[in-house]
Amino acid sequence: MPIEVGINGAAGRMGRLLLAAVLEAADLQLLAAVDHPSNSAQGQDVGPLASLEPCGVSLSEPSPRAWAHSSAILDFSLPAGTEQLLRHCGHRPLVVGTTGLSSELLARLREHSQAAPVVFAPNFSTGIALLSELVSMASRVLDTFDMEVVEAHHRHKLDAPSGTALHLASLAAAARGLDAGEALVFGRHGDTGERPSNKVGVHSIRGGGIVGEHRVLLAGSGEYLELKHVAIHRGAFAQGALRALRWVVDQPPGFYGLEQVLGLPGKE
């Protein structure tokens, strides 16, 4: 039996990638595609939104009826969309990738997870999830090595460093019992003096169309180790979300992250 899937934010950039991925997966069946009432594609078949043939499912407005036939829901919308979804979706399993949720909305998501399983991840890249684990382990095991995180993104990115680089550097610091607020050093310039061992360097490169690259360097006196992740396409997030969807339908109520989906040691 295929999993009956609903998508919230279906007409957005991630929504369209998810539509395509769900429509092309033999074990998934698209039952609902929801977006904001103002979306110009309302009422139209969503196949063409995903650059596919018509699929018999039309884009619909948020309402409890929209989710009536879905057995699990993917949410990549906006916080207001997640908020509406929580009011409308009953006790259905959720995979939530929407970012910028307020602490109040996160609390409501946790409340939902007491009745139904929820996977929430601000980054659904499975490679980054594993890299996070590797960074913690490497920081602990190679505890005398100097750690530097270097990230590269396209020229249009407005913030630096990336949230993922901050996350990785904070994990590296925490694994050594250091406070991230004091341990992280952002770039270097001028008369810096010798590098203290209790710091984690964070550096940003901006240029062209680089989708996203994160390198973590652990430098010892006679050797160095480099862990590197490269994002090639946003489809990586969609594939991670689908992996979470296939997993979440078999879980008891609870609030989960991508680490549990991947079965990373100590996170089951």
Q: Minimal distance in Å, beta carbon 245 to ligand NAD?
A: 13
Closest CA to 143 of 264, 225, 265, 259: 225
Rama region for 203: left / alpha / beta (φ>0; ψ in -120 to 50; rest): beta
Report the nearest approach of ligand NAD to the CB of residue 174 (Å): 22
Q: Which is nearer to ligand NAD, 36 or 246 (CB)?
A: 36
Taking CB under 6 A as the criterion, which residues in 112-151 touch ligand NAD? Answer: 121-124
Our CB check for ligand NAD shows the closer of 12 and 201 to be 12
243 contacts ligand NAD (rule: CB under 6 A): no
Q: Which token pair is 122?
A: 């601000």
Q: For the chain, what's the residue count?
A: 268
Instruction: Output the smallest distance, CB 113 to ligand NAD, in A.
Output: 17
Q: How many Cβ atoms are within 10 Å of 17's Cβ, its own excluded?
A: 20
CB 205 within 8 A of CB 230: no
Kindly state the DSSP code that residue 58 receives in the 8-state scheme. Answer: B
Candidates 5, 7, 12, 95: give the one binding ligand NAD (CB under 6 A): 12
Active site residues: 153, 157
62 binds ligand NAD (CB under 6 A): yes
State which residue has the least CB distance to ligand NAD: 12
Applying CB under 6 A, does 97 fall inside the site for ligand NAD?
Answer: yes
Query: Residues 221-231, buried b or exposed e (16+ Cβ, 10 A)?
Result: eeeeeebebeb
